[in-house]
Amino acid sequence: MPNCLTLKKSNCKNCYKCIRHCPVKAIRFSGNQAHIIGNECILCGQCFVVCPQNAKEIVDETEKAKVLLQSGDPVIVSLAPSFIANYDGVGINAMRKALKKLGFYDVEETAIGATIVKTEYERMLRENERDIIITSCCHSINLLIQKHYPAALEYLADVVSPMQAHCKDIKARFPNAKTVFIGPCVAKKDEAEHYEGIVDAVLTFEELTEWLKAENIELDKEVDNDICSRARFFPTTGGVLKTMAQDIPGYSYLALDGVDNCIAALEDIISGKVHKCFIEMSACVGSCIGGPVMEKYHRSSAVKDYIAIADYAGTKDFEVSQPKAVELKKSFEFIEQRAPMPSDIEIQNVLRQMGKFKPSQELNCGSCGYNTCREKAIAICQGKAEISMCLPFLKDKAESFSDTIVNNSPNGLIVLNENLEVQQINTAARKIMNIRSANDILGDQVIRILDPTVFMNVLKTGRNIRDERVYLAEYKRFVEQTVVYDKDSRLLIAIMRDITDEQNEREKKENISRQTIEVADKVVDKQMRIVQEIASLLGETAAETKIALAKLKESIQDE
């Protein structure tokens, strides 16, 4: 990961906004977290700008600048010309006054270095027979070519940036001085770190604003005019060209802003479609005044910012002591990427895992952040992305899983919207109500198949119905019915368990019990009658026996 960019992992919400806006897709996702790939990142700062969770942070060098101030050496600020757009109505003299209160020895405009650089560009065009020259002012563009388009390295102007040219000039005039660049760019922190000994620290406008606020220093609203300040145009699109003499016969002069436009131009250059051209390239749309660390409340005011620059810029060049060309030389090496390109077989295997078995299934919707499903598959092979980042894949998987559960559930399920229109009905529910196909009822009012009263009551009262036994007379079915209203999805869900067989079995048992009781009652009645008859018979026999015995006794006694 680049040292000047850090990531607060706990704040990353796996939204993929950063990868969608990263022009070179230099972000890797692992464990639902975003990670910046250092050897691919061009430090354009777009991930910092667009992150909704503020998960990307720029390393603050304020303490580093304070240490420089405590060193005892004079510390001189190189102030990017875009400051006039960031600090409305505050000129260089007012900035110098405020920064001297912080302890800086002096403040100068980076536009001085821009004058040196543009003069060197003019010399190169006059004296060198070069087919194509690409400006090297923008460190993000330099990194883009170094990391992603090395075939265009030969066209990149081997000249220091205005920041470096100015800081070299300061140190030439003040041999023991330390330099601090202040501007709207993330990449300048990396440039200063990579090319040691030229720029000692880099601050953003936001860091400076916070430092001034902490020290209770207010900027005076004071704009100074200086006709010898044409290089103040540098932070605008075409600003380099505005300061140059465009008089080399046969040469075209072109200004491009935005990484996508620059990439398109680089591909044309590499393919041999462009010749005899001087191209000013800026990674940021609008150039430096559209930089990622222009303070946030300025980011949507491109026209206003350009007018501020144009009003502040002069008509002549700064008076500078132009160094020798060799002193302005800068080398750019190829920065190799570690991730190898996967084979077609590996890519196809991943596409199949994503549910893409044929080209028509490659939707190229961009929800994962990649422009095409194939690009996403390549990123997965390289360990930069995960299959789960595909929204259509997750949607289809979730719907398939949900449909499997719903359609195989033994319970009938019906989903209604608030207008009581059928949104979904499963196989079990269709069986209960003898509905041949779901399409026969989907979108229609539920009254076509069921009494809507229970749904209307639940919708009106908000009280759910659970395990209510209902007889559906027209279907001759008994069901145990639950009706639930989901407020979040604004849907009514009816769950019906067919208990017809249970009810029939229960009624059968009840009939058997009733018949058994009736038979038992009849048997008891009959037995009681028999008992009574026996008793009656027994009673008559006993009386007759008593009489006979009495007579026998009497006759025996008489004898």
pLDDT of residue 169: 97
Do 37 and 23 share a domain, yes or no?
Answer: yes
pLDDT of residue 368: 78
Instruction: Name 179's bridge partners.
Output: 76
558: in domain? no
Of 328, 352, 373, the last residue of a domain is 328
Structure tokens at 487: 């407020």
Do 314 and 221 share a domain, yes or no?
Answer: yes
Do 448 and 393 share a domain, yes or no?
Answer: no
Contact between residue 412 and residue 427 where contact means Cβ atoms under 8 Å apart = no
DSSP 310: H
Q: Which residues of the chain have pLDDT under 70?
A: 1-3, 10-11, 13-14, 296-300, 393-402, 539-546, 548-559
Do 116 and 142 share a domain, yes or no?
Answer: yes
- Is the dihedral angle over the CA atoms 418, 424, 428, 432 positive or is it negative? positive
pLDDT of residue 298: 45
In total, how many domains does the chain have?
4
Do 107 and 244 share a domain, yes or no?
Answer: yes
Angstrom distance (rounded) from CA 372 to CA 394: 17
User: Could you give the C-alpha distances from 513 to 104, 503, 504, in angstroms and in order?
Assistant: 104, 15, 14
Contact between residue 367 and residue 341 where contact means Cβ atoms under 8 Å apart = no
Instruction: Name 109's bridge partners.
Output: 79
Angstrom distance (rounded) from CA 266 to CA 274: 9
Q: pLDDT of 28-38, one tens digit each?
A: 887 778 888 88
Q: Domain span at residue 252? A: 60-328
Do 159 and 173 share a domain, yes or no?
Answer: yes
pLDDT of residue 1: 41
**What region, left, alpha or beta, does residue 14 occupy, with left being phi > 0 and alpha being psi -120 to 50 degrees?**
left
User: Contacts from 210-214 at CB under 8 Å and sequence distance 24+?
Assistant: 210/62, 211/62, 211/102, 212/98, 212/102
Residue 346, domain CATH: 1.10.15.40
218: in domain? yes
545: in domain? no
517: in domain? no
Angstrom distance (rounded) from CA 538 to CA 148: 123
Q: pLDDT of 327-376, one tens digit each?
A: 999 999 999 877 788 888 988 888 888 888 888 877 778 777 788 888 88
Do 166 and 228 share a domain, yes or no?
Answer: yes
Contact between residue 349 and residue 387 where contact means Cβ atoms under 8 Å apart = no
Structure tokens at 297: 């409340």
Do 183 and 258 share a domain, yes or no?
Answer: yes
Residue 430, domain CATH: 3.30.450.20
pTM as predicted: 0.73
375: in domain? yes
77: in domain? yes
Angstrom distance (rounded) from CA 505 to CA 500: 8
Contact between residue 8 and residue 18 where contact means Cβ atoms under 8 Å apart = no
Contact between residue 347 and residue 377 where contact means Cβ atoms under 8 Å apart = yes
Structure tokens at 236: 């605008």
Contact between residue 422 and residue 411 where contact means Cβ atoms under 8 Å apart = no
Do 137 and 276 share a domain, yes or no?
Answer: yes
Structure tokens at 224: 């100074």
Residue 21, domain CATH: 3.30.70.20
Of 328, 349, 384, the last residue of a domain is 328
DSSP string, 164-225: HHHHHHHHHHSTT-EEEEEES-SHHHHHHHHSTTT--EEEEHHHHHHHHHHTT-PPP-B---
pLDDT of residue 399: 63
524: in domain? no
507: in domain? no
Do 321 and 401 share a domain, yes or no?
Answer: no
Contact between residue 24 and residue 148 where contact means Cβ atoms under 8 Å apart = yes
Angstrom distance (rounded) from CA 494 to CA 411: 10
In degrees and rounded to multiples of 5, residue 329 shows phi and psi of -70, 145
Of 498, 524, 543, the last residue of a domain is 498
Do 313 and 387 share a domain, yes or no?
Answer: no
Do 283 and 308 share a domain, yes or no?
Answer: yes
Q: How many CB atoms lie within 10 A of CB 48?
A: 18
Structure tokens at 371: 């422009």
